[in-house]
Every structure is written in C-alpha cells, then in structure tokens.
Amino acid sequence: MRLHLKVWRQRDADDRGAMASYDVDDASPDMSFLELLDVLNEKLTVEGEEPVAFDHDCREGICGACSMVIDGQPHGPEKATTTCQLHMRHFSDGDTITVEPFRAGAFPVVKDLVVDRGAFDRIIAAGGYISAPTGSAPDAHAVPVPKDQADRAFTAAACIGCGACVAACPNGSASLFLGAKITHLGELPQGQPERNSRVLAMVDEHDAAGFGGCTNTGECAVACPKEIPLDVISQLNRDYLAARKARRRSA
C-alpha cells in the first residue's frame, strides 16, 4: 500500500506547530497504525530527519497511551478500537491520512503527537480510590454484591483513561471518564463510605484542570474505545448533587 500522511509536528509546548506531509510506499494491510508510524520513523531516521514522537506502551488496546486523532476521529474511524489496534486494511491504497494529537486545553502538547494527560492522574489522586485497609484479597463471596451492580461496576471499570472522550467533546469535557470512575466505585459496597467526599473532590479537580462542562452531545461515548455508556454521566450528576446537598445539611 502507498499512503500519504499529514502529521502534526510540534517541537515543544511553546512551538506553534504545523502539519507535515510524508509518503509511505511499503505499508502492509496487516500493519497496525503504530507500526505504520514505526516504518515512517525508520525512513525519517535514514534520511536524517527527526522522527515523529508519539505515545504508546502495551500496543494491545489495554493502556490507552496510543491516543491520537486520525482523520478527525480520536483513535481513528473504527468503532471500539484503540489506535494501536487499528489496522491498515481499514484504509485503501493511495489514501491521505491526517494524524494529530488530542486537542484539549487540559491536554497540552508535549511534542508532535504526544500530549500530557497528567490531569487524569490528578483527578484519580483526588478521590478515585477507596482508603479502607483491605488486607489480603478477600474470598469472592465475602462481600455480597448484587449482579446488576457488579455488572455495571465492571462496565464502568473498563475505562482505560485514554482521553478520547475529551478529544471528541466540543467542550473538552472529561465527564465520561469522571463518570466511569465515580460509577465504578459507587456501585460497590467498598466505595460507599467515601462516596460523597469522592465525587466532590474529583469534580473540583476536573474543573481546576481546565476541562469543560458536559452539554450531552454524546460524542464522548461514540469515540470511547471501551464503549463506556453515556449514562455514567447521569450517575456522576446524581452523586454530585446528592453530595452537595449532604454537605449543606452538615454545614
């Protein structure tokens, strides 16, 4: 396959950046998109040019590090697929493919296609955990959890924190990510003691990081590679309102 790539190049956070054009003449339909970038970088290195910086780790669709916008869509055109699991057979010979970093105020560009998603880590540090000492792993039946709640918790826990929801949202909101974390812990007995303080702290950190507000466009759920359902945002809003009410009563 012969492909024409338009790739965002930016030296650092202070550089204005611009699109650069490259041709890859020997792409295989069986390559993943990251392997295509590997081939491009080998070519650039041989030609004495700076390779394209991009983020990656597991290359198995698990970690979410391979976050980039391909042809205007976070992680590319295939549904429920991370960039590293997107294969070139989904494109045609001679295609022009545009590759950019995630665009969000809370995700500043570090270099080329690499963005700083540390804001997600700060949200988790603000309350995305339980602090009760649990000791060793308990028996599976030690704390009964209704199946419906367990299923919903597992669905929310599938979030890999890649940031596609933020890149897809016209407001740059991380509400789907935040809703997934709140719902995951809020559905389990272990998450109840800190349920109110958790949601208040995490929402405060979300807003302080510069993420926008949710206006229910639904683009986040469409772009999510793990298909986190939109209704976790409803759970987030319910928990937040309940926590605000409880705080006012106790004041």
Return the H-helix or E-strand segment holding 196: helix 195-208
Lowest mean pLDDT among 26-35, 37-46, 129-138: 129-138
**What local confidence, expressed as pLDDT, does residue 140 receive?**
73
**What local confidence, expressed as pLDDT, does residue 133 receive?**
74
Query: What does the radius of gyration of the chain's CA atoms come to, in whole angstroms?
Result: 20
Using CA atoms, how far residue 128 sits from 189, 212, 240, in Å, is 15, 19, 14
Inter-residue contact 128 to 115 (CB < 8 Å): no
pLDDT beyond 80 at 2: yes
What is the arithmetic mean of pLDDT over 7-23?
96
**What local confidence, expressed as pLDDT, does residue 165 receive?**
98
Using CA atoms, how far residue 180 sits from 57, 68, 114, 151, in Å, is 22, 21, 24, 13
Domains and CATH numbers, the chain: 3-111 (3.10.20.30), 117-250 (1.10.1060.10)
Phi first, then psi: give them for residue 134, nearest 5 degrees: -110, -10
- Contacts for 63 with CB less than 8 Å, ≥ 6 apart: 57, 160
pLDDT beyond 80 at 47: yes
Tokens 């295509």 sit on residue = 36
For the chain, the straight-line distance linking the first and the last C-alpha, in angstroms and rounded, comes to 66
Q: Please, which pLDDT band fits residue 172 given cuts at 50, 70 and 90?
A: very high
Taking phi over 0 as left and psi of -120 to 50 as alpha, with beta for the rest, 186 belongs to alpha
For the stretch 209-224, pLDDT in tens is 999 999 999 999 999 9
- Contacts for 38 with CB less than 8 Å, ≥ 6 apart: none
d(CA 183, CA 188): 9
d(CA 237, CA 202): 12
Strand partners, 5: 22, 97
Phi first, then psi: give them for residue 24, nearest 5 degrees: -115, 115
pLDDT beyond 80 at 183: yes
For the stretch 136-167, pLDDT in tens is 877 777 888 999 999 999 999 999 999 999 99
- Contacts for 12 with CB less than 8 Å, ≥ 6 apart: 110, 111
What is the arithmetic mean of pLDDT over 58-78?
95
**What local confidence, expressed as pLDDT, does residue 134 receive?**
67
**What local confidence, expressed as pLDDT, does residue 195 receive?**
96
